Amino acid sequence: MATVCPGLAVAAATKSPGIDQKTLTTQVLLDRLGFGPGVIDGQKGQSLVGAIKGFQESRGLPQSGKLDTDTTKALGAYAATPGTIEVTLSDADVAGPFVGPIPDDAAQQAALPAMGYSDAMELLSERYHTTKATLIALNSADTKLVAGTKIKVPNVRPAATDYAGTLKPEWRATLVGLNVSSEQPKAAKLVVDKSDRELRVYDSQDKLVAQFPATMGSTHDPLPIGTWKVQGVSPLPPFHYNPALFWDAKPGDEKQTIKPGPNGPVGVVWMDLDKDHYGIHGTENPETIGRTQSHGCIRLTNWDAARLSLMVKAGTPAVFQE
């Protein structure tokens, strides 16, 4: 097993970006309100524009994608929420078990005991909906990731964790570990829009109540336009790799069963659709959401996929449109 990362400095291969505190706070507020800006990094970009537009639509405001006067005023009701908080690392935060670098080969992945986090930095990045580089920028580069250390993180701690129903302990722990609130709106309809790479959640009054950036389809596996239905939710699923279903499979690849975990090919949760081999799921690479292509399925960050899984149920319509 890999040991914990001894310091923040060794976790990033590139220079940490400068953090715009106003942008980071805006990302935090939108994330907490269910309008995902992607990874929280204090950087302006298309995912933040999309999140602002979604929030504006939900509040009946012109969808400028900018923090104009009315939008700033609407967000102002939540402005008392600080953009960052200080947390103290626990033994559990740094103890693992961590699996080290994840191999690309499916057979090597199948040999791992689980598709867990590579190291403590990756765990903390996902927990606080951010990136390793952002954690470095928010803290001293020589900060030691050991129990008792205080670090500054984006303030995405959930409003509530009193999850209803009969959730298995492992899934409950995953939701807590990803800072996913148990207070989520109920989805009456999902709309996946290819033009702006967003997944939108509407309630029974056809009001937009949540929105997440998404990766969807590719030239080889285009988004299946039409109306589908969610058939069920599978938390922490294993992944059954079948090379016959992948255009980019390597010659000689064999079927494999890859164990569950946040670094698995479908992340922490799979929401099955009534179209063979298609679903909505998490990802092991949150920074790529909305920027790359998929094998046809709808990919979200692990924390957004986990949130969405609490909103949907069997039979929830999912409209895929251009």
**Which of the listed residues 157, 173, 208 is the one where a domain comes to its end?**
157
CATH code at 243?
Answer: 2.40.440.10
Q: Are residues 308 and 216 in the same domain?
A: yes
Q: What is the pLDDT of residue 78?
A: 81
Three-class HEC string of the chain: CECCCCCHHHHCCCCCCCCCHHHHHHHHHHHHCCECCCCECCCCCHHHHHHHHHHHHHCCCCCCCCCCHHHHHHHHCCCCCCCEEEEECCHHHHHCCECCCCCCCHHHHHCCCCCCCCCHHHHHHHHCCECHHHHHHHCCCCCCCCCCCEEEEECCCCCCCCCCCCCCHHHHHHHHHCCCCCCCCCCCEEEEECCCCEEEEECCCCCEEEEEECEECCCCCCCCCEEEEEEEEEECCCEEECHHHCCCCCCCCCCEEECCCCCCCCCCEEEEECCCCCEEECCCCHHHCCCCCCCCCEECCHHHHHHHHCCCCCCCEEEEEC
- Rounded Cα gap, residues 177 and 172, in angstroms: 9
pLDDT tens, N- to C-terminus, the chain (322 residues): 333 334 454 444 445 568 999 999 999 999 999 999 999 999 999 999 999 999 999 999 999 999 999 999 999 878 788 999 999 999 999 998 999 999 988 889 999 999 999 999 999 999 999 999 999 999 988 899 999 999 999 999 998 888 877 789 999 999 999 999 999 999 999 999 988 999 999 999 999 999 999 998 656 667 889 999 999 999 999 988 777 766 556 777 777 889 999 999 999 999 999 998 899 999 999 998 965 544 558 999 999 999 999 999 999 999 999 8
Q: What is the pLDDT of residue 222?
A: 79
Q: Are residues 12 and 120 in the same domain?
A: yes
Q: Are residues 133 and 202 in the same domain?
A: no
Q: Are residues 8 and 153 in the same domain?
A: yes
Task: List the beta bridge partners of residue 98.
Answer: 2
Task: List the beta bridge partners of residue 189.
Answer: 202
Q: Are residues 62 and 131 in the same domain?
A: yes
Q: Are residues 135 and 246 in the same domain?
A: no
- Rounded Cα gap, residues 128 and 125, in angstroms: 5
Q: What is the pLDDT of residue 170?
A: 94
Q: Indicate the angle between helix axes 21-32 and 46-58, nearest 10 degrees.
A: 50
Cα first-last separation, the chain = 45
Residue range of the domain that includes 217? 189-321
Strand order in the sheet with 189-193: 208-213, 198-202, 189-193, 317-321, 226-235, 269-273, 279-281, 298-299, 215-216
Q: Are residues 144 and 195 in the same domain?
A: no
Does residue 177 sit within a domain?
A: no
Does residue 3 sit within a domain?
A: yes
Q: Per this entry, what is the length of the chain? A: 322
Q: Which two tokens stand for residue 302?
A: 């692990």
Q: Please count the structural domains in the chain.
A: 2
Does residue 204 sit within a domain?
A: yes
Q: What is the pLDDT of residue 236?
A: 97
Q: Are residues 203 and 280 in the same domain?
A: yes
Q: Are residues 123 and 227 in the same domain?
A: no
- Rounded Cα gap, residues 50 and 63, in angstroms: 9
Query: How many C-beta atoms lie closer than 10 Å to residue 170's C-beta?
Result: 10
Q: Are residues 5 and 148 in the same domain?
A: yes
Does residue 184 sit within a domain?
A: no
Q: What is the pLDDT of residue 14?
A: 46
CATH code at 75?
Answer: 1.10.101.10
Does residue 166 sit within a domain?
A: no
Question: Do the beta carbons of residue 44 and residue 67 sit within 8 Å?
Answer: no
Q: Are residues 200 and 77 in the same domain?
A: no
Quote the pTM value. Answer: 0.90
Does residue 170 sit within a domain?
A: no
Q: Are residues 2 and 91 in the same domain?
A: yes
Does residue 174 sit within a domain?
A: no
Does residue 178 sit within a domain?
A: no
Q: Which two tokens stand for residue 50?
A: 């999309």
